[in-house]
Structure 1
Amino acid sequence: MTDSTDSSAGADTTDSTAQGDAMPAGDGKKHNKGDAVAAGRNTNGKKKGSIPSKAAPQTLPVGSAKGIETLFRNAYRAELEIIALAATKANIMISLNGFIASALMISGAFIFASSPEFMVPAAVFLCTSVASIYFALLAASPDMRDRPRGIFAWLTALFKREASLQDFKAYVRPRRDFVDGESNILIYEERVKLSKSDYWERMRALLNDKEDVYAKMSDQLYWLGQMASRKFKLLNISYNVFRWGLIVSVLAFIGVDFYHYLRDVMGSDPAVRLRNLGIAQFEDIYEPSAVQQLPDGRILVVEDEPDRTFSITRFVAGGLLTEDPMLDLRLMRDFPSKPNDLEGLSMDADGYIYAITSHSRDTKGRREPSREQLLRFRIVGDNAFDPQEYTDLIEQLRRSPVLQQTLSQYTDQPVDFSDINIEGLTFDQSKRGLFIGFREPVVDGQSMIVKMDNPQGIFELGEEAHFSAVALLDLQGGGIRALTYDPILGRFLMVNEISGYQGNPYSQLWSWSGEPEAQPVPIALPEIINLHNVEAIASVTVNGESRLLMMSDEGSVKKGIPANYMLLEYGQLSAD
């Protein structure tokens, strides 16, 4: 019994072993793991303590895993966004510089007419804008990046007689073959060279080759990166041109402005030689009614038309006066309202300029506020500052006891200031008392001058006008047309218009001491017969030389005839 049992067990063991040997390797691996460990082998079928051998590297084929697709998708998106950003920046530079260039071209004529020196910074900025636009356009159109190089190469070859005019297209737009003779239909520059049939044939071949698809996509990414790089290089050039051009333009503007400042501080050009006797003509001044020299040597002229009120002129070589229409327009914009019919002009000791309108009625007999103003302002550089106006002069003249008492000695009838016409204004030697010369009314055949004591108080303290003296002068019946105090002569000069021997009116110059009881003395002017209707006189000093400047109101805007002016030496003046 025992033997049979043992035999059965041995048979079972043998059968089990045989079955284990006959099992597949995959199944036996699980069941024999313990045996393998017991036999001194690891689970990988290698002995303990032995050095594992390196497995041979395996090359995996390019697949279509989701990670690879995401990689290409993100790479494409990044490259396209960079290219779009470059295009946006190029458009900004084109728009900005295009606006600047347009503005400079439109205003170029005005800049040249106003101050030719400022054309230097304007020209620099214009060239800067054009160059910046050029490189921005190349960045926006990268296919044109080689055009300048091709043009330069063609010009060089043409100069060396290696090319002709017919070769221009070949140099500027050369024919480019595919790289290595094979095209990548995913790249724009190569795709457009194919016909439709060639394109379709290559597309089918590409779709049938999975590895070539990824290769071509990689090439396209590289091409997009190169395009973005070219765009940003051109944009960088555009930025640098704009940046440095702007700096140079600002420095040029500061230099020109500093030159103007030095010229104003140092005075007029020493080479200026003043003219004598000869009558000169303005270019754009037609009806001058008053003139005053400014502290910087320039000449301020006023006209009696509201649209042509102020003009600033300057002496140039030959003793001629040059005008600046753009400066005049800018000066008139500094006044809140347009004065009408300005007739008098003078300057006090503090540098304030006083100007007065005629206070006369218009052609329809109506009073207008714009014609009844006494103005005060300062001119600093090319601008007017602190403009103020006083509009109650007529009422104060009517109520003045000094005027009424003085005028009652010459006439029994009260003087009617409804027909008032003021055409003269000047400060006395002290620069404190303001003398007003009247063309009308004429009292008992005599012209009237009234002295105002408080011109500064009117504007600074809000005082009413106070008159302290009245002078009635015998000017042979003609009302005062111009009035000034001459520091060279130490006397007042005035001009009126009287009748000649044959009844023809002519301008007469008078000298007056300023005392109410004193009478004026006529002064003969050589060749003055050719200068009619003088309404502006002033003593001017240029480079240490003093002259008497006279201007006539005989021009016509409608006819395009400017007014005349002349300079006289004081030695040429003589009493009649």
Structure 2
Amino acid sequence: MMLSRIVKLTTLLSMTTLLFIITLLFTGTSDASWRPFTSSDVTDELYEPSAVRQLPNGQFLVVQDESKDPFVLFEYIDGKLKNFIRPPLKTEKQPFWVIGADTRPKNLEDLEGLAQSPDGYLFAITSHSRTESAAKKKDSRQKLVRMRIADNEIVEYALFEELLKAITDAYPELKKPTKDDNPKGRHGFGIEGLCFDATGKHLWIGLRAPVIKGDSLILILENPHQLFSEKSTPRFSPKPLRLKMGKGGIRAMTYVPELNGYLLVTQKAKKKSKSEKSFKLWFMENREGAEPEKITLNGIDLEKTEGITHFRDNNQTVIMLVSDDGNSASEHPAQYLTVPLDELHIPSRADN
């Protein structure tokens, strides 16, 4: 009788172990979770992050669609955010009576995208959309920025302010959306995604809107540096890149060398009086004709992801996402998420 019980118990334990192993294989184990965008000593926090990149020196730069606090540097050390810095514009020596004045960039409203070229230049872009409340054009929303970060200061800061006209000249089908009264609707116009392509030469501009015939649009600027170094006219690819991503507008994107492909975040525009649609994550290989495929993060919700980047941490590649879901009035910080690259469930690479 005792031997029979031992055999049954052993069998039960074996089955339980097998089920546990199967669960690990198919669902993965992740400690990833959204955390408040707060410095580790709880003396600083961010509310409206809309894009993020890691710099060559290991720091991160985040842009916010909060005009009074557009650029913030921080470090990610031992799983914590540290050393928040608002980088000032590097200027000539100031007279004593202006010491302490705010020298951060001004007149940048609704910053949405951030990209970094192989030579270390940073490009930031505003939405180029009309205001949501009055549906009016504002110059402060029509800026393409090129700059560098050196010694916690912004250097070589330059603006290009004629991008919207160049876009509608290159793609006449986008003229009507730029005048739409609902800039965040499917038929409006707004820029949110920004990254360099795999070559590091062309700047991809991802549109939140419009979504045309169900296709998400990426505009390819072929001469981004020349706009600043040579005062050239913008040169775009003959046609936008049109992608099937569930009729969603692009909210963030980045190229990941380890994947030889792109990670893109989308959200389908909501209809009036309807609830917000969920955000989705996609992967697209770096090859001609590649189609995006939806991927998952072990069931983790994407919240309101508007920024995505990759970095190395403890000898592995990690993805960082930032969610624009804070509220300064209630002092509720935004959130960020870090996920090891190998925990992304990409269907086409499941057997790799």
After TM superposition, the score normalised by the length of structure 2 is: 0.76
**Are positions 1:442 and 2:211 aligned together?**
yes
Q: Identify the match of residue 81 of structure 2 among 315, 321, 333.
A: 321
Measure, in 1, the Cα distance between the counterparts of 2:286 and 2:127: 22
CA shift for structure 1 position 335: 5.0
CA shift for structure 1 position 430: 1.7
Give the alignment of 1:11-90 within 5 angstroms: none
CA shift for structure 1 position 449: 0.3
**Are positions 1:300 and 2:80 aligned together?**
no
Q: Identify the match of residue 476 of structure 1 among 242, 246, 266.
A: 246
Measure, in 1, the Cα distance between the counterparts of 2:176 and 2:125: 21
**Are positions 1:309 and 2:67 aligned together?**
no
One-letter amino acid of the counterpart of residue 441, structure 1: P
Q: Is the 8 A contact 1:377 1:386 kept in 2?
A: yes
CA shift for structure 1 position 394: 1.0
Secondary structure of residue in 2 paired with 1:338:
coil
Measure, in 1, the Cα distance between the counterparts of 2:56 and 2:263: 21
Which structure has more relative contact order (CA 8 Å, sep 6+)? It is 2
Measure, in 1, the Cα distance between the counterparts of 2:138 and 2:105: 16
Q: Is the 8 A contact 1:487 1:539 kept in 2?
A: no
Measure, in 2, the Cα distance between the counterparts of 1:508 and 1:484: 14
Measure, in 2, the Cα distance between the counterparts of 1:414 and 1:565: 35
CA shift for structure 1 position 524: 1.0
Q: Identify the match of residue 378 of structure 1 among 137, 140, 148.
A: 148
Q: Which residue of 2 aligns with 1:339?
A: 108
Measure, in 1, the Cα distance between the counterparts of 2:88 and 2:147: 15
Secondary structure of residue in 2 paired with 1:438:
strand
CA shift for structure 1 position 279: 2.1
Q: Which residue of 1 aligns with 2:283?
A: 511
Deviations 1:2-33 (A, max 9, x none): xxxxxxxxxxxxxxxxxxxxxxxxxxxxxxxx
Measure, in 2, the Cα distance between the counterparts of 1:510 and 1:301: 22
Q: Is the 8 A contact 1:300 1:310 kept in 2?
A: yes
Q: Is the 8 A contact 1:287 1:555 kept in 2?
A: yes
CA shift for structure 1 position 367: 1.1
Q: Identify the match of residue 282 of structure 1 among 16, 37, 49.
A: 37
Secondary structure of residue in 1 paired with 2:259:
coil
Change (3 A) 1:425 1:534: same
Deviations 1:177-209 (A, max 9, x none): xxxxxxxxxxxxxxxxxxxxxxxxxxxxxxxxx
Secondary structure of residue in 1 paired with 2:146:
strand
One-letter amino acid of the counterpart of residue 513, structure 1: E
Secondary structure of residue in 2 paired with 1:537:
strand
Change (3 A) 1:420 1:356: same
Q: Is the 8 A contact 1:276 1:566 kept in 2?
A: no
**Are positions 1:554 and 2:325 aligned together?**
yes
Q: Is the 8 A contact 2:116 2:123 kept in 1?
A: yes
The structure carrying a bigger helix percent of its residues is 1
Secondary structure of residue in 2 paired with 1:467:
coil
Measure, in 2, the Cα distance between the counterparts of 1:359 and 1:513: 28
Q: Is the 8 A contact 2:47 2:327 kept in 1?
A: yes
After TM superposition, the score normalised by the length of structure 1 is: 0.47
Secondary structure of residue in 2 paired with 1:370:
helix
Deviations 1:50-79 (A, max 9, x none): xxxxxxxxxxxxxxxxxxxxxxxxxxxxxx
Deviations 1:67-95 (A, max 9, x none): xxxxxxxxxxxxxxxxxxxxxxxxxxxxx
Measure, in 2, the Cα distance between the counterparts of 1:383 and 1:477: 40
One-letter amino acid of the counterpart of residue 34, structure 2: I
Secondary structure of residue in 2 paired with 1:455:
coil
Measure, in 2, the Cα distance between the counterparts of 1:514 and 1:446: 18
Q: Which residue of 2 aligns with 1:291?
A: 52
Change (3 A) 1:521 1:388: same
Deviations 1:108-152 (A, max 9, x none): xxxxxxxxxxxxxxxxxxxxxxxxxxxxxxxxxxxxxxxxxxxxx
The structure carrying a bigger strand percent of its residues is 2
Measure, in 1, the Cα distance between the counterparts of 2:328 and 2:164: 31
Rg: which structure is higher?
A: 1
Q: Percent identity?
A: 32
CA RMSD of aligned residues (A): 2.4
Q: Gaps (5+ residues) in structure 1?
A: 1-274, 408-412
**Are positions 1:456 and 2:225 aligned together?**
yes
**Are positions 1:431 and 2:189 aligned together?**
no
Change (3 A) 1:280 1:547: same
Measure, in 2, the Cα distance between the counterparts of 1:515 and 1:439: 23
Q: Is the 8 A contact 1:300 1:313 kept in 2?
A: yes
Give the alignment of 1:157-556 within 5 angstroms: 276-283=31-38, 284-317=45-78, 319-324=79-84, 327-328=85-86, 330=88, 333-335=102-104, 337-362=106-131, 363-400=133-170, 403-404=171-172, 415-418=176-179, 419-468=188-237, 469-498=239-268, 505-514=277-286, 517-529=289-301, 531-556=302-327
Change (3 A) 1:394 1:515: farther
CA shift for structure 1 position 337: 3.0
Q: Gaps (5+ residues) in structure 2?
A: 1-29, 39-44, 91-101, 180-187, 348-352
The number of residue pairs the alignment matches comes to 288
CA shift for structure 1 position 278: 2.6
